[in-house]
Amino acid sequence: MKDMNEGYLTADGRQIGGVVMELKDITLRFGGLTAIEKISFDIRDGEIRAIIGPNGAGKSSMLNVISGFYVPSDGEVWFKGVRRGPMKPYEIARLGIARTFQNIALFDGMSVLDNIMTGRLTHMKKGLIAQAGWWFTGAAREEYENREKVERIIDFLEIQNIRKTPVGRLPYGLKKRVELARALAAEPKILLLDEPMAGMNVEEKEDMCRFVLDLNDEFGTTIVLIEHDMGVVMDLSDRVVVMDYGKKIGDGAPDEVRNNQAVVDAYLGVAHD
């Protein structure tokens, strides 16, 4: 049904491209604990790739490996056909990988606008001396150009009215949205979302689903998504990786995965402890 080298056509008619990222035999250990054990999967251009699994399965750890926050004990990460050597998280950000965190990680002392502007850092080249000169060195112009991009994201996510609010004062749902805005501001090649809808009410969840679909559709952003709500996963994602106890127990289209016996067991069958 799918030609995996050329990409594939989704049920709703979107063309998915070739492999942008490939994880090969990733293993991650914390002391004696093996959080991820020999997991391999790929991420294709333009797709929405979900990672599901019970709590403690190692999903967040997997995102941390992709974003360079954890260094895998073993295995290889390939990005755009090149094997990624050991890199600092900020170097990986500059390659075009942005993320949100399961526990929101915003800059509480800064306004919503400034938080989102930090997402543009990888695109802003003026150095310290140029910044000091501001009007005379083009730093001001760079600021306004990037501000314009950020304003478009603010419009897209419908957060115009909280632009100047310090982030620390926002309710949880809005914080999640601002964090998404900051990641989007980077115009990433791959966007990693760690439980973007956790703790949201139905309405907020619907909004968030719409944003994820829209930004994949409009900007062609490749998205890796961790989510617990199976309904959401089935609706949003093109392909799903299922993890349990650090192992991969399923990988495929949502329907295939749903009917996979190991997945059914992990989710519905035997309780874990």
Ligand X SMILES: Nc1ncnc2c1ncn2[C@@H]1O[C@H](COP(=O)(O)OP(=O)(O)O)[C@@H](O)[C@H]1O
Which region among 56-64, 72-80, 131-139, 230-238 touches ligand X (by CB under 6 A)?
56-64
58 binds ligand X (CB under 6 A): yes
The site partner of 132 among another protein, ligand X, Mg ion, none (C-beta below 5 to 8 Å per kind) is: another protein
Nearest to 44 by CA among 222, 194, 257, 213: 222
126 binds another protein (CB under 8 A): yes
Q: Which is nearer to another protein, 109 or 231 (CB)?
A: 109
> Which of 23, 48, 57, 212 contacts ligand X by CB under 6 A?
57
Nearest to 112 by CA among 159, 164, 152: 164
121 binds another protein (CB under 8 A): yes
Q: Which is nearer to ligand X, 35 or 223 (CB)?
A: 35
Residue 41 corresponds to which tokens in the numbers above? 């999967």
The site partner of 30 among ligand X, another protein, Mg ion, none (C-beta below 5 to 8 Å per kind) is: ligand X
Q: Which is nearer to another protein, 120 or 239 (CB)?
A: 120
Q: Which is nearer to another protein, 59 or 248 (CB)?
A: 59
56 binds ligand X (CB under 6 A): yes
